[in-house]
Chain A
Amino acid sequence: MSMDNSEIAKAKYEEAVRKLVLRYLLVAFLVFLVGGVMGILIRLSQSSPYLNPSLYYRFLTLHGVSMTGFIILALIGIGWLVIVKMLNIVKPIWRIELVFWLIFVGYGLIAVAILVGKFATGFPAMPPLPVISAGGWPRWAASVFFIGLATILIAAITFFVEWLLAAHQLVGGIGEALGLDAFVPNKSISHLHSPAILALTAMSLVGVFAEPIGIYLLANLFIRNINPAFAVDPMMAKNALWMFGHTLVNILFWGAFSIVYLLVPAYTGREWKAYRLLVGGWLVTIVTTGLTAFLHHLSMDFAIPFQLLLFGQIATYVSVIPWAAVSVYGALTRIWKSGIEWKPAPRFVYLGLFGFMIGGTAAFLDATIGFNRVLHNTLWVPGHFHSYIMMGSALFIFAAIYHFLPDLAGKKLGPSRLPLIHYWLTLVGGLGFLATFYLAGLLNAPRRFAEFPFAQLPQGINFIINTSIPFAAVFGLGQVFFIYYLLRTLLAKERK
């Protein structure tokens, strides 16, 4: 039977989307590699200094930007796949292309600012440092950085709007997509299919409010950079930074967690639908993590009224509850006695859940003002967010790639030993690396230091930093196996 015109058009469209998503993922991994190399270079220099401060801080900045860029590209790529293939909603190719190019150009501009312009504020950049560099970098470098970052934010906001439109089309409204019908008597929310819809909707809804704050801040800094007489209030800037920055990485985590909601049912055979407690949990998450918990970044800013700082601590505490008591608990109870086959995808989901929980615990402790007193801006802080992102979001993304790879590649999968090697190297290297962050932080090693003043700090930090390097190398090697496996699958001659 021959296909009619509409079927041919549909097949062509889906092939075009598949290729685009692959491009998102491949470029994401290129960016990830850049970030990884930067990470190794700076950690090596902390152990035995060889980079001058400008290079160290520039590589540090590029490392943070690249890793965030990796998550953004990979997540949005997978997001388009979910919209088009799982929800069967058509998105014009030019819009999928537009978001890709905005991120690509934005990242390119930032890379130029750093590598050519010597911009070295760390990422995120705390104003007014970008514009008051004490001779660290020329003014144009800061301007290019602001434009580049704003471009990436515009791309992210565009995707969030696309998702909200898709959700509206799917279930009739954003409130419906958040499962609010669960609180209406006699109304069913069975149409929601999966909590993944909630997670992606929450991400997009908070994103369209919080990320424009980032653009507002960048615009202010851009003007200030050109006209030093234009005052940007540092307290406003600090709050705006965390309101958009903290929120961005957290909502990206929510987006990544939608992968958990999709894959746990797929591999356990147990359904996971939205229900009242889960819907309520997401509303709590939106209000706490999404809108108020950012205040925990300001715990050592005592110019702020104490009640607000305490509120930030409590909002953060409350934000733990939906994750620990509903979503992660829900994943574990569904895995229990499910007869699950531990294929690569569920393995990475499981490891990512563990990474998230240890990172979340570290975050809970850090957000406690009395503890933040000695944890803030030590290596405890990157320990915490590497747990969430490197051993959380990134692993969920790997899981999604393993899961969707047969569809994406249209080819026979490569040898199955490789994903297992990837898994074990990631587990040992990743968890070991995280442990060194936390230990060094407890020994008061400051973060963002090109060279540690070992003589001023407790004994043992040097040893811990040196130990972190083989762990990071093992983790990195694991990712090399992964990328090799992906390329081998994609470039295989045999179609499946």
Chain B
Amino acid sequence: MSIQAYIGLIYLFIVIALSVVFLLVWKGSKPKVDFERYHDRFSRIGTIWLVVLIAIGAMFTLATLPLIHYPGVAAPLSEQRQIVKVDAFQFGWVIEPKEIKAGTQVEFVVTSRDVNHDFGVFNANGVLLFQVQAMPKYTNRAVYTFDKPGTYKVICLEYCGLAHHVMMTTFEVVP
């Protein structure tokens, strides 16, 4: 399942939960009952809710660390990694080399010749796999391992001028 699918399910679950809570409070807004009657109970629920929020935060941080394509975070940098240089400019990409080996860790070394761009890599089905910013005067490095050979698409994901929406290219991943 793609990361997007996980996010979609989590978000749907939370939105449904929020809708239920808001509908319940709406329906339960009448009749009027003295606030003092349940003030303590709501204080206790509030404390539990606070702890639940902290737990959710910790869980998400730990669970999503393996997804982070920052060099050295999800996995150590491999000695055998393939280095691919990406130069962004208004309005195209220079990728060197254009052929990438499947199954090998790739380190993308990304920069820009002019304004901020964003190196967005999509598979043949149009699913966004990862992205990293392309900045002038700075280098951004991202790591990724392509499991499947094939043609991959690059779409610019940082608005960079009037031809931003046609700033695309492709590269090949070979077995």
B-binding residues in A (CB < 8 A): 53-54, 57, 120-122, 126, 128-129, 132-136, 233-235, 238, 270, 300-303, 306, 309-310, 313-314, 317-318, 320-321, 324-326, 329, 332-340, 342, 350, 353-354, 357-358, 361-362, 364-365, 368-371, 373-378, 438, 442-444, 446-453, 456-458
CA distance A120 to B90 in the complex (A): 15
- Given the complex, which residues of A lie within 8 Å of B28, measured CB to CB? 336-337
- Docked complex Cα distance between A57 and B131 (Å): 23
- Report whether over half of chain B's contact residues are helix, strand or loop; otherwise say mixed: mixed
Counting from the closest, the 3 A-B pairs by CB-CB distance are A339-B32, A370-B67, A370-B64
Answer whether residue B80 sits at the interface, using C-beta atoms and an 8 A cutoff.
Answer: no
Residues of B within 8 A of A335 (CB): 25, 29
Known contacts A136-B161, A339-B30, A350-B22; A365/B136 CB under 8 A: no
List chain B residues, Cβ under 8 A from A128: 114-116, 136
Hey, which chain A residues are within 8 Å of B60, CB to CB?
317, 364, 368
Residue of A nearest to B91 (CB): A134
**A269, B28: Cα distance in complex, Å:** 16
A357 touches B18 (CB 8 A): yes
Q: Which of A270, A300, A371 contacts B64 (CB 8 A)?
A: A371
The reply to whether A132 and B114 contact each other, CB–CB distance below 8 Å, is: yes
With A318-B57, A325-B46 as contacts: A361 and B14 at CB distance below 8 Å: yes
Instruction: Kindly state the interface size class of chain B when it binds its partner.
Output: 35 or more
A120 touching B3, Cβ below 8 Å: no
Q: B91 to A338, Cβ gap below 8 A?
A: no
Q: Which of B31-61 contact A (CB under 8 A)?
A: 31-33, 35, 38, 42, 46, 49-50, 53-54, 57, 60-61
Cβ contacts under 8 Å, A235 to chain B: 135, 137-138
Given known contacts A132-B115, A306-B68, A306-B70, what 6 new A-B pairs fall within 8 Å (CB)?
A: A301-B140, A371-B3, A444-B122, A444-B128, A450-B165, A458-B125
Expressed in whole angstroms, the Cα–Cα distance for A170 and B163 within the complex equals 54
Task: Name the A residues within 8 Å of B162 (CB-CB).
Answer: 53-54, 57, 120, 133-136
| CB contact between B33 and one of A126, A321, A337, A443 (< 8 Å): that residue | A337
Q: When the two chains form their complex, are residues A449 and B165 in contact, meaning their CB atoms are under 8 A apart?
A: yes
- For B18, list chain A residues within 8 Å (CB): 354, 357-358, 361
Contact partners of A368 in chain B: CB under 8 A: 60-61, 64
Q: Would B127 and A444 count as touching, CB distance under 8 A?
A: yes
> Is B146 an interface residue, CB under 8 A from the partner?
no
Shortest CB distance B148–A (Å) = 17
Q: Is the Cβ of B53 less than 8 Å from the Cβ of A320?
A: yes
Bound together, the chains give a CA A337 to CA B38 distance in angstroms of 10
Chain A residue with the shortest CB-CB distance to B128: A444
Docked CA distance A451–B164 (Å): 10
Contact assessment for B137 and A233 in the assembled complex, using a CB-CB cutoff below 8 Å: yes
Are A302 and B141 CB-contacts (below 8 A) given A321-B50, A339-B29, A339-B30?
A: yes
Residue in A270, A317, A353, A444 whose Cβ sees the most chain B Cβ within 10 Å? A444
Mark contacts of B139-175 with chain A using CB atoms, 8 A cut-off: 1 yes-contact digit, 0 otherwise: 1111000000000010101111111111010000000
Measured CB to CB, the closest approach of chain A to B85, in angstroms, equals: 15
Check A377–B118 contact: CB distance below 8 A: yes
B94 in the interface, Cβ–Cβ < 8 Å? no
